Amino acid sequence: MIEETLSKGERTSRAIIDAAYDLIIDQGYAATSMRQIADRAGLALGGIYNHFSSKEEVFVAILEKRHPFFQIVPLLNSVEGETIEAFARNAAHTLIAELGHHPEFLNLLLIEIVEFKGEHVPLVFEKMLPMILQLAQRLSNLGGNMREIPQLVLARAFLGMFFSYFITELLLNQTKFMAMQTNALDHFVDIFLHGILSAEE
C-alpha cells in the first residue's frame, strides 16, 4: 500500500538506495561503482544522477534510512520492564536476537567508521537524538536504586553494552574459548548493572 502512494521518482530513489545498500554491504563502499548500482537498480547510469549527485550522496541516503540505530533504539523503547534490571535483561536478549537476524548492520557501521572515519556520524546522531533522549528518559525513570548518571551517558553506556557484546560474540564465535561464551550476555548485563567490584562486607 505504501509503495502505491510513492511517486515514480520516489520509487526510483528507493530502488537506487536498495541496490546500493546490497552492493555496499556485500563488497564495501570503495569497491562499489555507480555503474554497478545502476545495473542492480535496472537503470541507465545517467538515471542515477537525476536523483543523486554522487556515490557518497547515495551512501548518506542509506545511512539516513538504514542505519541500524534507527531500528534498534525504537525496539529498545518498546521493551517491557518496570525496573532497570528487568528492562536491561529483557532489552539485552531482545536486541541481541534482532542483531542476530541482521549481521549486515555491523557491516554498515564498520564501513562508516573505516572508510569514512565517522564523517557522517553527526548527521545520523542529529536525526537519532530524539529517540535516544526518549530512551535516556525511560532509563532514568525506571525503578531501582540508580546512581546519579547524566541521561545521555546512561543511554550511551546502555547501547555500548549491546554492541560490545555483539562484536565480541562475532569474533569469538568460531574459537574454542567456550568459557568466554557461557551465559556471557547475562554477565554483560550484570556488569552494566553492578560493575565488577564485589560489595564491601
Q: Which residues contact 18 (CB under 8 A, 6 or more apart)?
A: 41
pLDDT per residue of the chain (201 residues) written in tens, 0 to 9: 445 687 888 899 999 999 999 999 999 999 999 999 999 999 999 989 999 999 999 999 999 888 888 888 888 888 999 999 999 999 999 988 888 888 888 888 889 999 999 999 898 889 888 988 888 888 888 878 888 888 889 888 988 888 888 888 877 776 666 555 678 889 999 999 988 887 665
Cβ(115)–Cβ(130) below 8 Å: no
Neighbouring C-alpha atoms within 13 Å toward the C-beta of 15: 19
Instruction: Please tell me whether residue 140 adopts helix, strand or coil conformation.
Output: helix
CA distance readout (Å), 109 to 91, 121, 161, 171:
21, 10, 16, 16
CA distance readout (Å), 11 to 2, 25, 50, 158:
10, 21, 13, 37
